[in-house]
Structure 1
């Protein structure tokens, strides 16, 4: 991963083009894979439908679910948004975006909650609205801190926050 001091090695127009590609790809997916850490510091993988906000993502998940308990314990996660394997041109290099994220539990009916709910309802319909009325469902805002965008072999990019994109030049090497 890159750190906050990374400077893009791409032209501004190329970086903008890749950013638009990433946004379109993410918009085409309905759910993300979510990795959280439990109280014993063990990883747990799950998934959640998501909404898209300004520089963040929203998930509405039940307190009964382990990933919600884990996010309350440790408000950090890794999220993977990946191309469907049935439509991927190359199974070993599926298009994907992976983010390291900070998670924030949102207060019911706060401005942030309402923004998240509007995003989820626009993407997932009435079901999201209905689930939001259940007391065990909590809204989390996930904010990317860094990530990777992979669009095939040799075509990987580091993402700092939600802005700077750098081409990763380390290639595959023969044994």
Structure 2
């Protein structure tokens, strides 16, 4: 009788632990899949703040209004992308949003934000550098969140050369 009770308790504890582990694993997979889709969309939006402005004209402040709107639309999209940011990516995202706001808006005397009077002036070198640095930090954090820069966990082998007699370039 004692053995049967002990066996039942042991089975219960083992099954409960396994079920909990399976539920946690499934939750993590679902979160990863949702986060991957959301992060890909945000990573794509950051192309509007390229690493180098040399290839395009320096943007004016008013040029950045649609950029800011696209980030806000991403955050509050129907898919609720902003919900899936990790703490690190949320900090990086908000820092970039704050920097965009600082170059686009000023506080009026009554404390409300308004578009800067200098809307058609180009951004300064410091403003450009700051936005580029923050966009880069956000991109790096998004990649870290999904593990995109990690090496593969499975080993692979290099295929044999296709043509005989050709030296292996590696």
Bin of the TM-score, shorter chain as denominator length = under 0.3
Instruction: Tell me the TM-score normalised to structure 2 length.
Output: 0.24
More strand, by proportion = 1
Instruction: Tell me the TM-score normalised to structure 1 length.
Output: 0.24
- Who wins on radius of gyration, i.e. which is larger? 2
